[in-house]
Structure 1
Amino acid sequence: MSPIRIAIVGVGKIVRDQHLPALAKNADYQLVAAASRHGTVDGIDNFKSIEAMLDAVSSIEAVSLCMPPQYRYEAARTALEAGKHVFLEKPPGATLSEVADLQALAEAKGLSLFASWHSRYAPAVEAAKAFLASTTIRNVKIIWKEDVRHWHPNQEWIWAAGGLGVFDPGINALSIITHILPRPIFITSATLEFPENRDAPIAASIAFSDAQKLDVSAEFDWRQTGKQSWDIVAETEAGEMILSEGGAKLSVNGKIAHDEPEQEYPMLYRRFAEIIKEGRSDVDLSPLRHVADAFMLGRRKFVEVFYD
């Protein structure tokens, strides 16, 4: 088959760090255009809007949408209406309802829609899922703490309503936990900490359970300095499992069981090509649903102002 002619919309740090290198190494794609208000990609046609790009480059078959979630719905609908397959960076949208609408439109037009969750493709995630399926789980703790000033400097959109705040990284943990646990979980309580000058939380403490009353807790915090923490710890009948470094490393009872180089975005693009060839979509909304539930059930706690 000929390479899929793909375009990127929203050229920022994640595109330069992850999307462009992944596409450059994948023979399933040919990057033909980009659209962004501020950024450009060398060697291809660049436009200021997705509408201008689609009008000018009719050969585009798929688009990868990497702008902030508050602006993704209109761009995705424009692409689908134009007959293009759509890759959605995480989170797939600002609300569950708008992503459901995109899913229905993609189905009606026979197009592929991909809600990408890059952390599910971290190298040790499948090994963790297999381990948990082989034993009885007693409790699970999620510790996802990082320094927002390092990872999201001067990104005001992330603090606005719909920007998710600390759930922007936290949803990565949720995408992993919803994949590796043998049964669905649901939120029972939450406390969300909002800086007095921000519309999105800087920290969150969440309690989950399931039909068998499994104890699952999560601590998300954007004020971590020094060593960053992206860990999932499970106490089981077979011992302690630690999935660390955002899903890159797995240890069981203190011994490394899985440790490989990260290949998240190359695997995402392999998956996108796969579903396009198969003529179907891949849209799992469970991580975003947990975020929505946290905002619905969560108690708000106001904390000191935060400045970048």
Structure 2
Amino acid sequence: MDPIHIAVVGLGKIARDRHLPAIAGNATFSLAATVSPHDTGLDGIPHFASLDELLEQGPAIDAVSLCTPPQVRYDLAAQALKRGVHVFLEKPPGATLSEVVALRDRADKVGVSLFAAWHSRFAAGVAPARTWLAERTIEKVSIVWREDVRVWHPGQAWIWEPGGLGVFDPGINALSILTHILPRPVFLTNATLSIPANRAAPIAADMHFRDTAGAEIHMDLDWRQTGPQSWDIVVETDAGTLKLSSGGAVLALPSGTEHNEDLEYPGLYARFANLIRGGRSDVDIDPLRLVADAFLRGRRVSVEPFID
């Protein structure tokens, strides 16, 4: 079977650290080109300043991975779909719910695959956590997702602009796990968003949810954490406590703890290949919908300016 010829659009930190190694490690894919107006590309791989240029002048491609900021992703995805090119959307899949739904509908009409890639769902502990929780009564959930923005997003001004999500850029990873592992739907009851006086997006958020059976869920997001970082989800059930830590890579159950290797981006590309080969799409908007609900219903408080 011929490989899937894929282009990576956007060559920032996430593309170089995660996407390119995952593509190189998957024989189903062949890296055909890269696209970025701000980068010179990779040795031996055709490079283009824009997706327009690649589609008009470059080698034939079957798929693109869009690793750009979400604010510009819709037009790129729509352009690729119009050419019959399969599209991988780095999280969050777009700057608004409406544009992601429009892309999903367009992909269905033209018969190509669209993948909203929630990488944290592919952390090694998430699938077994989902299986274990399916047979339990959920009593209470606590999420602590705290990290240092200066370490993970140095100098990235776009992330503080409307559509960039601020602290929800990492926080949506926790929501992608939460909505995947709990057996019932979740909805927001209230939230407080802490927004630096000189920024448009929050640096912290305190959020309360319930599932449809009434279980209380609390989420503590903060981008001001220094030292050890916290990416933990604790679920109290009728059969004991489950804990996912290290962003979902470590699973602790009443029966013991499993430490697992990093499987996220290799898992994403295996899933993308299966979607393409099967002629299907996977566009779950639940995590983004909860973020939108936070902006819709959350109370905003101004905090001290953030200087990068």
For this structure pair, what is the TM-score category when the shorter chain's length is used for normalisation? Answer: over 0.9
Report the equivalent of 1:278: 278
For 1:34, the aligned partner's letter is: T
3-state SS of paired residue (1:216): strand
Quote the offset at 1:100 in angstroms.
0.7
Structure 2: how far apart are the matches of 1:291 and 1:15?
24
Structure 1 runs of 4+ aligned residues shifted over 6 Å read none
Report the equivalent of 1:297: 297
Report the equivalent of 2:208: 207
The question of whether the paired residues in 1 share the 8 Å contact of 2:187 and 2:290 is answered with yes
Structure 1: how far apart are the matches of 2:26 and 2:13?
20
Quote the offset at 1:279 in angstroms.
0.4
3-state SS of paired residue (1:284): coil
Report the equivalent of 1:21: 21
Cα deviation code 1:51-105 (max 9, x no counterpart): 0011112511101000000000010011111110000000000000001111111
Report the equivalent of 2:102: 101
Report the equivalent of 1:177: 178
Q: State how 1:1-308 maps to structure 2 within 5 Å.
A: 1-39=1-39, 40-253=41-254, 255-256=256-257, 258-308=258-308
Cα deviation code 1:222-279 (max 9, x no counterpart): 00011100000111122121110000001124831x2210110011000000000000
Cα deviation code 1:253-306 (max 9, x no counterpart): 4831x2210110011000000000000100000000000000000000100000
3-state SS of paired residue (1:74): helix
Structure 1: how far apart are the matches of 2:34 and 2:205?
36
3-state SS of paired residue (2:227): coil
Cα deviation code 1:148-173 (max 9, x no counterpart): 00000000000111100000000000
For 2:275, the aligned partner's letter is: I
Structure 2: how far apart are the matches of 1:294 and 1:220?
12
For 2:47, the aligned partner's letter is: N
The question of whether the paired residues in 2 share the 8 Å contact of 1:175 and 1:287 is answered with yes
Structure 1 gaps, min length 5: none
3-state SS of paired residue (1:44): coil
Structure 2: how far apart are the matches of 1:254 and 1:193?
38
Higher mean C-alpha deviation, range 22-31 or range 40-49: 40-49
The question of whether the paired residues in 2 share the 8 Å contact of 1:83 and 1:111 is answered with yes
Quote the offset at 1:135 in angstroms.
1.9
The question of whether the paired residues in 1 share the 8 Å contact of 2:33 and 2:59 is answered with no
The question of whether the paired residues in 2 share the 8 Å contact of 1:205 and 1:219 is answered with yes
TM-score (ref. length: structure 2): 0.98
Structure 2 gaps, min length 5: none
For 2:289, the aligned partner's letter is: R
The question of whether the paired residues in 2 share the 8 Å contact of 1:11 and 1:41 is answered with no
The question of whether the paired residues in 2 share the 8 Å contact of 1:231 and 1:243 is answered with yes
Higher mean C-alpha deviation, range 129-138 or range 192-201: 129-138
The question of whether the paired residues in 2 share the 8 Å contact of 1:137 and 1:234 is answered with yes
Q: How many aligned residue pairs are there? A: 307
The question of whether the paired residues in 2 share the 8 Å contact of 1:22 and 1:266 is answered with yes
For 1:187, the aligned partner's letter is: L
Structure 2: how far apart are the matches of 1:65 and 1:177?
24
The question of whether the paired residues in 2 share the 8 Å contact of 1:190 and 1:206 is answered with yes
